[in-house]
Structure 1
Amino acid sequence: MSHTVDTESAPEAAATSPRPGYGQLLRTPGAWTFLLPGFAARQPFAMLTIGIVLLVQHTTGSYGTAGAVAAVTGVAMALFAPQSGKLADRLGQATVLVPGVLVHAASVAALITLALADAPLWALFAAAVPTGASVPQVGPMVRSRWATALTRTPGTSALLPTAAAFESVTDEFTFVIGPVLATALCTGVHPAAGLAAEAALTLVGGLLFAARRTTQPRPTGRPARGSGAGRAASALAVPGVRVLAVAFLGVGAVFGGMQVSLTAFAEEIGSPGVNGPLYGVFAAGNMISGLVFGAVTWKTGPRRRLVLGYTGLTLVSATLWSVHSVPLFAVLGLLAGLCIAPALISGYTLVDGLVEPSARTEAFTWLTGAVALGQAAAVTVAGRLTDAHGARAGFVVPLAGTVLALAVLLSLQSRLLPRGSGRGAIRAMRHRETAAVD
């Protein structure tokens, strides 16, 4: 049948392309060789923060201290992740990933040892910096491999938005099992078991992922000395990438604020084990939304979907501080998760039109780093508020982060047009044409 499709919003619905779908995506040659090891290697983002919070809170008795240590880790990751992505674009993913996972495993081991030895706060900070800086950027690397594989395979470019949705689902699946696993290990085995498992998964998965060299994007090589090419090619020089990075700070604020505040809420009601399942429900909502989002051929553009997702996320975040019951938290957490996936998927989809392929991994890592930075700030602020005023105060942090991010999107969304779009292109994209869609 035929539907009227906005050509700016849904290039994936071109008449010459088959209907995008997960089955077709997963039949892409070589896809499974990087998906499976990549899944294990991307666990740090789901397990690291909650593992640090649970361990340091256990050894110090303070959510504020635990949040501060986790925040240092997040800031270090946010600062170093784009540099890691840039080096991966230039030198190859395996060249960057192998030493990175080795450093990360050693840094986590040092952080665990210091925390259990009741080391001073400055020593925990010193170990937290390399721990965060060395977090392997496997998620952006997988996204870059998808883009490369779909570009190399004829007739599959329409699957790029589906790949973005699939990666968001994969990310959120790790957030379903990661916090639950880390919480179960920390509360049921040993306070350091969550971090130890995170380091082991990162090391094994990262080395296996790095070994799949045939699917990695071709390195662009080192820029000529003194040419300025490296600076010109930076993904952050693109205004749209900067807007998306600021917007993704809001997603990080939701992740960080929810982790600390849900942990404190569970402690307040005398059921610390409920923290993992509650956060798992939140991430499950994101995963479910991502699955549906990637299976639909949209008639609205990614810019509009990004704004709508953020609007819903802001409205849900506005209610969290007033909730007192576990069932209601589960419902609102599910709704929050349902709103996050459209925002993340739309943002990652926009990147492909904003930057050149040679800067794609770096652009993805700027967004991932922005989430980490927002999460770090949220963990710090929510930890302080929770120590001073209880769990309810911590839930104000997701609201503040989403309100600010939504304001930036509403005022600067014109900068998210694809590269090369001028006023004529803008007018053309506002017109609609009929395209065949299953």
Structure 2
Amino acid sequence: MTDTRQTDTRQTETRQTETREGLIDHTGWMYWPIAFIARLPFAMMTVGVLMLVVAVTGSVGLGGLTSAAVGIGVVVAGPLIGDLVDRHGQRRVLVPVGLANGLLLAAFPLIVMSDVPERVLLAAALAIGLTAPQAAAMSRSRLLTIITARLAPARRAQTTSRIMAYESAADETAFVIGPFLVGILAALIAPWAPIAIAAVLSLAFVTAFALHPTARVMVGGGDASPPRAPLRAVFSGAVLVLVAATFAVGMFFGSTLTSLTAFAQAHGDEAQAGLLYGLMGIGSAVLALGVVMLPARFALARRWLVFALIVTIAAIGYSCADSFAAVIVWLLLMGLGVGPTLVTLFSLAGERAPLGRAATTMTLLGSALTLAQALSSAFTGWLAEDVSVHAAMLVPAVAAALVLVCGVVNAVGFRRLG
């Protein structure tokens, strides 16, 4: 009888402890800076490859193709890496992938400057994309797993919302800091410096991220392999509409930065482009974090429509801007919409990911974002050079409209899923 009471007491204390414990109790404070820095090589490589190839060869067209090759490699390998992670865990996959990516990045400046044929250059860029360690997607997947496995059920929904908001804000910040670092390092040191720094960050921080104790957590907390849905379940309509919308957001990011650079160049102050883009990114990151304050009755499907509409209206205004003052206003308004939109998409992905396929789902969205960024940057750059700057500034509006259309499809076709 006494043993039974002691057992009940211990179980009660355990439940009380679990109720009090937050996510940081299970991750530790060091996880967060490591996970953030680990995503910078991913944010730097596309722009860094573009700038290095253009600086060495003088060909914007070749630079765009090389950058697109990185993006294609990412989108090809992303779901495969996600599937391997779901099967074997993040440590076994991310350590060799991160090391391979770091070594390829380190070798790329030597390849570019050695006057090799274009096909070799494109193959090297493709290999960089194929080994891209998608730390952002892995972090989302890892944190969702910890929330499911370790947090009390009453805390899971709110914590998930906060984490998706944080992760999207961290992505926004990385996508701003990454290109900014590329520009600063290239200007202060040399065009090869951003790729070299990205190589160091990949070797050091991606490895640290992969070896962090949080990578061991599995749903159920046991050593047995958790149940896992078949891979084809990831390619359901409910997930693919999120992938399509994320692709359109990537188009928006890539075309906005490239068209903004062309606009600033046409107005005689190219250096302003990075600062102006930063204004949109900072505002977007702040609003992304603010999403957690929205009431639960403001459903995710409605948020998608509302914030995508804000981005679309602002992007149309941006396409008509003819001064820096007007561009700043429209960029700030675009930032109010795009951050919350990205949070909403990844929150829905977290809810719709098939059982045991969180990493695959998140890497699929991350791959779509990166591929679209690379392709739209190359296409928008071609428009700015061969057609007009005004034509290039229309592309963000087209991308935003696609996000809105996907939101309508989601609301009509998948209303039961949120």
Superposition TM-score, scaled by structure 2 size: 0.86
**C-alpha distance after superposition, 1:48-70 (max 9, x if no partner):** 22222222222233433322211
Instruction: Give the structure 1 partner of residue 10 of structure 2.
Output: none
Report the Cα offset of residue 417 of structure 1: 4.9
Write out per-residue CA displacement over residues 345-379 of structure 1, whole angstroms, 9 at most, x where no aligned residue: 11111123212340011111111111112212212
2:386 matches 1:371:
no
After superposition, the C-alpha distances for 1:121-164 in whole angstroms (9 at most, x for unaligned) are 32221111011111111111111121122221224202111110
What percentage of aligned pairs have identical amino acids? 31
Whole-angstrom distance in 2 between the partners of 1:269 and 1:176: 22
- 2:41 matched to 1:55? no
Deviation per CA, 1:58-101, whole angstroms, max 9, x where unpaired?
A: 22334333222111111210121111111111101011111111
Does residue 199 of structure 2 align to residue 199 of structure 1? yes
> Is the Cα contact below 8 Å between 1:25 and 1:162 reproduced in 2?
no
Q: Find the aligned partners of 1:388 and 1:203 in 2 and give their Cα distance.
A: 39
Q: Secondary structure at the match of 2:357?
A: helix
After superposition, where does 1:270-309 map in structure 2 within 5 Å?
A: 270-309=268-307
One-letter amino acid of the counterpart of residue 367, structure 2: G
Aligned residue in 1 for 2:102: 105
396-405 vs 191-200, greater mean Cα deviation: 396-405
* 1:217-366 equivalences in 2 (<5 Å): 217-218=217-218, 221=225, 232-366=230-364
1:25: how far off?
Answer: 5.8
Q: Tell me which moved more, 83-92 or 347-356.
A: 347-356
Kindly provide the amino acid, as one letter, of the partner of residue 175 in structure 2: F
Give the unaligned 5+ runs of structure 2. Answer: 1-20
Matched, 1:132 2:129: yes
For the structure 1 residues 411 and 149, does the alpha-carbon distance in structure 2 shift closer, same or farther, using more than 3 Å as the test? closer
Supply the AA of the counterpart residue of 2:276: L
Q: Give the Cα separation in 1 of the matches to 2:164 and 2:120.
A: 39
Shift of the 199–348 alpha-carbon distance from structure 1 to 2, 3 Å rule, reads: same
Answer yes or no: is 1:65 the counterpart of 2:72: no
Cα separation, 1, equivalents of 2:322 and 2:226: 55
* CA–CA distance in structure 1, aligned partners of residues 321 and 241 of structure 2: 32
Q: How far off is 1:246 after superposition?
A: 0.7
Richer in helix (by share): 2
- Counterparts of 2:345 and 2:307, CA distance in 1: 11
Q: Match for residue 8 of structure 2?
A: none
Question: What secondary structure, in the 3-state scheme, does the structure 2 residue paired with 1:356 have?
Answer: coil
AA matched with 1:100: V
Would you say how many aligned residue pairs link Structure 1 and Structure 2?
392
Q: Residues 325 and 146 from structure 1, CA distance in 2 versus in 1: closer, same or farther, beyond 3 angstroms?
A: same
1: CA distance, partners of 2:302 / 2:337: 13
2:212 alignment partner in structure 1: 212
* Equivalence for 2:156: 157
Contact 2:301/2:410 (CA < 8 Å) preserved in 1? no
Higher alpha-carbon deviation: 245-254 or 395-404: 395-404
Unaligned runs of 5+ residues in structure 1 are 1-23, 224-228, 422-428, 430-438
Question: Which amino acid in structure 1 is aligned with residue 155 of structure 2?
Answer: T
Kept in 2, the 8 Å contact 1:238–1:354? The answer is no
State the AA in 1 paired with 2:188.
G
C-alpha RMSD over aligned residues? 2.5
For residues 60 and 262 of structure 2, what CA distance do their matches in structure 1 show? Answer: 8
In structure 1, the partner of 2:114 is: 117
TM-score, L = length of structure 1: 0.83
- Work out the CA distance in 1 between the residues paired with 2:317 and 2:116: 39
